[in-house]
Every structure is written in structure tokens, then in C-alpha cells.
Chain A
Amino acid sequence: MKIVLCVKQVPDTSDIKWTENNTIQREGLESITNPYDVYAFESALRLKNKYGNVSITALTMGPGQAEEMLRKFIALGADNGVLLCDKKFAGADTYATGKTIASAIESKISDYDLIVCGQFAVDGDTAQTGPSIANFLGIPQVTYVKEILEYSEGSVLLVRELDCGVETVRVKLPALICVLDNDFEPTRATINGIARGQAAKIERYGIDDIDLGVEQAGLKGSPTYVSKAFRAPQKQVECEFLTSCDDLAHQIKVCGGLCE
């Protein structure tokens, strides 16, 4: 089985600093691997360890520095890395990102069985790019995957965790799945793995390599655009500090509508 693992670097949003003009201070903003993509990787790696004869190609679209993330995944057990890197990819919304990644998979990887993505990225949190890739490739998708139960010839059996229930589905391959968080013990790189990651050749493709027009990629290829960005407004209330538990209990009763 050939797996394509779609991953992404995201800014570490837990540590954002603001400039005086209420814009995000981008200098010094650390990049991390999207946590859900790590869960996606762990799921793919479990398949590889369980069935053998499984290859994992880690693919990302991003700046040159994203190569390090791909090397890390190879150190942990992925087989290859593909970096889609071109200034013309910049500013893409989920539609143009889906189009770009689908074009790259079609023109460079064509032979694949399963595409594995994280369910969300913690920066944009749209959950749209995976389904968009699947649609451009014309393959089925299964989102909210909690567990991959089994792989048998031509299909995978999956558990989905939804708002109100848990669903077991079988999907025919090739297919794309989006993976939720899981409890897998994070894989640690071995010395050999790290050496393999550092030595690996990362395939690097730009817009001319993947059969995509300039008007189809990046900001130009995006149907949506940001007209305005601003700091999230804060609720304007004056906190009344209480010092006794009697007062606190009283306010809880009043605010909670529990007074007789």
C-alpha cells in the first residue's frame, strides 16, 4: 500500500505577541508541525508496522524551511518527502491549496492508495483542505477518523467519531482520510532514523513541475480573500472582585437563576 501523508507547518499560536498597532508580531514566531498531522502520521505508521509493504510519502506545501519537518518525519519512519515550494503558491486559500496538492499528487505520485491528513490545522482550523484535495482527485473521503481498524485488498475499515455518535465505515481505495487526535504513544526517532532523515533527498517541486497554471495557484487561484484583519474584540465588562465565599455563592445563585 502506498500512503501519501499531507502535513503542514503552522505558527505556534499559543505564544502570539502583538505590536502596538494590534497586528501580530511575526518576527520570532515559531513554527511547529500541526499537531493533528502528527496524529495522522502515527496512524499511517501503525499501518506500515502492521502490514509491511507499506510506503509513506510525506508531502507539504510551504517555505523552504518546511524541509526540516519532512526530514523529521522520515527520521520517524516515513520513506520519502515532497516539498511544494514556490512563491506563486503563497496566499492560497483552501481551494487553491487543494488544487495545488491534488495537481502535485496526480502529476508526481499518481500511484497511491491512501491519502492521510490531519482533521484540522490549528492555525486556520477550517478542516477543508483534505476534502478539497479529495474532490480534485475524484476520490472518496472519510473525515473524523478516530481509528483505522483494518486494511484489506482495496479498502480500509474505519471508525469515525461524530457529534452524537460513532460510525464504522468501509471505504474503497484510493481514498483520502482526515484523522482526529489519537492516544498513540508518539514515535521517537532512533539515531539511524535521524541519519536517514538527514541523508534523504527531498523532492522539491515548483509550479512549473506540477502541471498547474499561475492563475490556478496562490492568491490568484483563490476564490476567497481577506478584506480586513483585526484583533479579536474583548467583552467589555468590569470585573467585580469578590473576597468572600458567601458573596461568591450568592452571585452563583443569582447568575445561575437558582434563587428561590
Chain B
Amino acid sequence: MSKGILIYSEISADEYIHTVVFELSSKALELSAKLDNTPVMALLIIRPDLINSYKEAFRNCGFDKVFYVVDERFGVYKNDLFAEAAIQAVRQIDPEIMLIGATCQGRDLTPRISTALGTGLTADCTALDINEKGQLAATRPTFGGQLMATILCKKYPQMATVRPKVFKPTVENVTKDTAFIKLSVDLAGFESKIEVLDYTKKAVAEINTLDSADIIVAGGKGMKNEEGFALLKKLADKLGGTVAASRVAVEMGLASKDVQVGQTGKTVSPKLYIACGISGALQHTIGMNSATKIIAINTDKNAPIFDICDYGMVGDAFEIIPQLLSKL
């Protein structure tokens, strides 16, 4: 019988365990408590020399078992190679639930695993629970974030992906006597059809600033033009924050897709989110409504953004921001 909650443990290009793994393990511990303490497990597909350096992290985050598969070729992620290894490994582990971070790698890899195993996969869940029948109830936004759907799966493992920052990692260490189990998979004759010729890490300025920012200053359609976004940048710089944008603003060419917040962009949870000229369509707010505090500036006092913010000011951000800059 399928047993346990398995978390795919992505190793980032710079050889760290992706932070989403520990957000998922925190949620898995909660789910496990509702499933007679079914084991919380990890799957690592990894270069042989790296496994020892990660053991401590898994012990401290409540994992009961860590399964790992090693091969020299695992230093570089390739979809077909990793999928083959993961499929063989998951068949051996036979978990009842499998959770994966909805990162680029997770979204690239997971549908191949679920399809090969003949099971279902629910993408970008924002809530996970165990229902009265012991099934994984995976809730996700759909219809541009306006409708929530709770999805169940008839097959095992019940698989779900979750974006980074949706769940919080465990605050306290949950130290366990983790078992590390090496699995053998047959890849001897496997030849990848994919050749990775080059990988260039994006400059720090282009990445992750949204994920780690305490303060985000975001602009929407109401910021109209490049001048508008230049104002947002000034405000963000003054506050030590970073600039984000709504989908409309990205489509207007005012900001890069990398900083788009919302259903088709990123999910963020800063201490403070300042929404300027953003009407507050659910498509957008689903990506930022877990911010600790939200402040909105908008010319339309009936804009839906004012329904979800803590403080609001009705007015033109083009007039308000310069005044703010002189007062901060």
C-alpha cells in the first residue's frame, strides 16, 4: 500500500537545496499528523559528492527518510535524465502523496513523472489538506485567480506542486533521526536527447529581489508610462525595497515579466506592499494578499484594491509619490 509524503528536493544551480523544500516539509508535517503520522520523506537526485553536505538540513526539518539517487551526470539538470531517475525512484518508494515546488524545474519535471505513473497532478496549490476520507484535498486558483477549486485524485501518488513562498517553513527545528536510503536506478544505457551548452546566472539585480524583499512598491496601469515607473523606483530605493508590476503594466512594456506579481507571475509575501495605480483584480491580488500590510494609492475610490488594503489614499500617485519622497 502506498505510504508516506514524498517531497522532491530540488538542488539549485548553485548547489543549495531550494528553500521551497522546507516550506513543503513544514506543510507535510501538518498533513502527516492527520494521516497517523505517515512518514515525511525526501527524494534527492544528486551528484555523488554532494549528499553528505545536505544531511544536517534534512535532519533538522523533520524528515523521517531521505531517499537519494546518485550519478555523476546529475550535476546538470536535464529533463529526460531526471525524469527517468525520478520515475524509477518514485515507483520504488510508492508514496501516497508527492509534493513538488512549482519552480521552473518542478514544473518542467513533475508532469513527466505523474504522466508516466498514470496519476494526476494539481498545479500551483495554495492550500493542502487531508479530507475526511484521508485523501489529499488540493486547492488552487483557476479562471485567472477568480475561482478556487479543490481537487482530489483517484490514483496514487496524489501529486501537487506549490509555488515558493506560499507556505511558511517551520520556525523551530524538528530534529529527527532521519534515515538516509540510497536507491539504485538503472540508467546505464540512458542517453539524454538534451545537451546543455551554456548556463548564465542572471545578475542579482534581476532575480529573487521580489522573493526576499521586505518592501515592495508595485505599479499597475495607473502608472501610465516610464516616468511613472521611475517614480516607483525612487520610492522603492528610498525605502530599501524593490519594484513590482501588475500584468497590465508588464503588457504595457513598463516593467519586465520577471517582476510581475499575480496569478501568471510571482507570489510574494513582503512586510509591506505598496500598490500604486493598481485596481486590484483578483488575478493580481492572489499573488500579494499574504503581505503583512498593504497600502494602496489609487484615483478611483471604488477600486477593489481598497477592499483588501490596510491603508489607502485616494489620489494620483504621480502627485502623491513626489510629496512622499520629501517626507520619508
In the complex, what residue of chain A is closest to B81 when comparing beta carbons?
A: A140
Q: Is the CB of A169 within 8 A of B197?
A: yes
B residues near A24, Cβ cutoff 8 Å? 143, 146-147
Given A14-B283, A95-B121, A227-B151, also A245-B194 (CB < 8 A): no
Q: Is the CB of A16 within 8 A of B239?
A: no
Binding site for B on A (CB under 8 A): 11, 13-14, 16, 24, 93-95, 98, 120, 122-132, 134-136, 139-144, 157, 162-172, 175, 181, 222-235, 237, 239-243, 245-246, 248-249, 251-253, 255-258
Candidates A98, A129, A167, A237; contact of B310 at CB < 8 Å: A237
Q: Is the CB of B327 within 8 A of A94?
A: no
Q: Is the CB of A245 within 8 A of B154?
A: no
Candidates A134, A166, A171, A256; contact of B271 at CB < 8 Å: A256
Q: Is the CB of B264 within 8 A of A240?
A: no
Kindly state the separation between the CA atoms of A137 and B3 in the bound complex, as whole angstroms: 30
Kindly state the separation between the CA atoms of A166 and B13 in the bound complex, as whole angstroms: 11
B residues near A235, Cβ cutoff 8 Å? 285, 289, 294, 308
Count how many pairs of residues, one from A and one from B, have CB atoms less than 8 Å apart in the complex. Answer: 249
28 contacts between A and B (CB under 8 A): A13-B143, A95-B114, A95-B118, A95-B120, A123-B144, A125-B264, A131-B108, A135-B112, A143-B79, A143-B107, A162-B104, A164-B202, A168-B198, A168-B199, A222-B120, A229-B148, A235-B308, A239-B296, A239-B306, A240-B310, A240-B312, A245-B323, A248-B297, A252-B272, A253-B328, A255-B292, A255-B295, A256-B215
B residues near A245, Cβ cutoff 8 Å? 313, 320, 323-324, 327
Q: Is the CB of B149 within 8 A of A226?
A: yes
In the complex, what residue of chain A is closest to B208 when comparing beta carbons?
A: A164
Q: Is the CB of B121 within 8 A of A224?
A: yes
> B145-174: contact bitstring with A at CB < 8 Å (1 yes, 0 no)?
111111111110000000000000000000
Query: Taking each of B108, B196, B214, B294, which has the highest tally of chain A beta carbons within 10 Å of its own beta carbon?
Result: B108
What secondary structure prevails in chain A residues at the interface with B?
Answer: mixed
Kindly state the separation between the CA atoms of A237 and B290 in the bound complex, as whole angstroms: 12
B residues near A124, Cβ cutoff 8 Å? 123, 142
Given A135-B116, A252-B295, A255-B293, also A141-B146 (CB < 8 A): no
Given A249-B328, A253-B328, A255-B271, also A223-B214 (CB < 8 A): no
Q: Is the CB of B123 within 8 A of A126?
A: yes
Given A232-B146, A255-B295, also A140-B12 (CB < 8 A): no
In the complex, what residue of chain B is closest to A99 when comparing beta carbons?
A: B115
> B191-215: contact bitstring with A at CB < 8 Å (1 yes, 0 no)?
0111111111110000110000011
